[in-house]
Amino acid sequence: MQLRNRLFRILFGCALFAFTAYVLLDTFVIVRKYETADASSSSSQTVVAETVRPVETAVPESTAETILPVSVITDDTQTEASVSAVVSTETTYRDGNISIVLTEYRISDTTVHVADVQLSSAEYLKTGFAENTYGRNVTETVSEMADEFHAILAINGDYYGARQSGYVIREGVLYRNTAERNGEALVIYRDGSFAIVNESEVSAEQLLADGAWNVLNFGPSLVENGELTVSPSDEVNRAMSSNPRTAIAVVDELHYLFVVSDGRTGDNDGLTLYELATFLKTLGATTAYNLDGGGSSTMVFQGSLINNPTSNGSRTKERSVSDIVYIGY
């Protein structure tokens, strides 16, 4: 009897280990590129859409001030952009539609990189998937995605691929309609305006019908209607201390802030959510939202890595993530 019980415990332990290993591999390692499906489907299944070729644009070198014509390439035809020239330096970019100014701040013993972005149209505020494909564990670095999408400015997104819930709407297409319980999501509408919603209170289909163009799910919200929405005791359950951070905010119509802070090193402590929110409010943010942080926090401008991404503080290295938010054509 004792031998039988011991054998049972051994077999049960092996089965439990195998199941746990599979779950971990399926969640974090096994790549799943989902098939094309009707984006208007109202079923409870994951909603996906086919991969599309990104629109391309000529992007100038960032080493010195450059002035050159810009051409925007559409699917089949090439047309001149409504600008005659791009003016670019290591910390600025300007054409007739896009203005970006990078500024470095020092807050709470932490270097914070801020890109002040002003656009002529919301169409230049974009999102992109790793390998231009929606799926689980499909990842690339922000630099790789920025290069593929010809992004002028890019930051990491919400790393949707590491989770199985939370709405995913990108470029007007619904990919995942499974709500995260009481999850705060950032809705970016077609006109470029921002709103914070509770996914338990509204369906992804309704958001899409209301004009949502991109929905990002990480959180929490940091500023709403110009007021702080976090306190000194609030924190993301994945990181209960000061950390590298990524956030996006709107100041007023078509005026945005892309923010990435360093952290986890001897020179940079990192920011708490409250410190990040307070800083964004001082910059004039009316709505601000916390994106994936820690080792994922990355900013790329004109092909150059701006911050010092790190997972453990021992070395600077970009983490591969599932998506980016970017400015480009």
- What token pair was written down for 303? 């092909």
Q: What pLDDT is stored for residue 28 in this prediction?
A: 45
220 upstream amide cis, omega within 30 of 0: yes
pLDDT-above-90 percentage for the chain = 69
**Cβ atoms of residues 220 and 230 within 8 Å:** yes
Residue 32 CB contacts under 8 Å (≥ 6 apart), including other chains: 135, 136, 137, 138
pTM: 0.79
pLDDT in tens, 194-253: 999 999 999 999 999 999 999 999 999 999 999 999 998 887 654 557 899 999 999 999
Q: 182-210, pLDDT tens digit by residue?
A: 999 999 999 999 999 999 999 999 999 99
Residue 296 has pLDDT above 60, yes or no: yes
Dihedral of alpha carbons 203, 204, 207, 209, sign: negative
pLDDT in tens, 26-66: 444 555 555 332 333 333 334 544 333 333 333 333 334 44
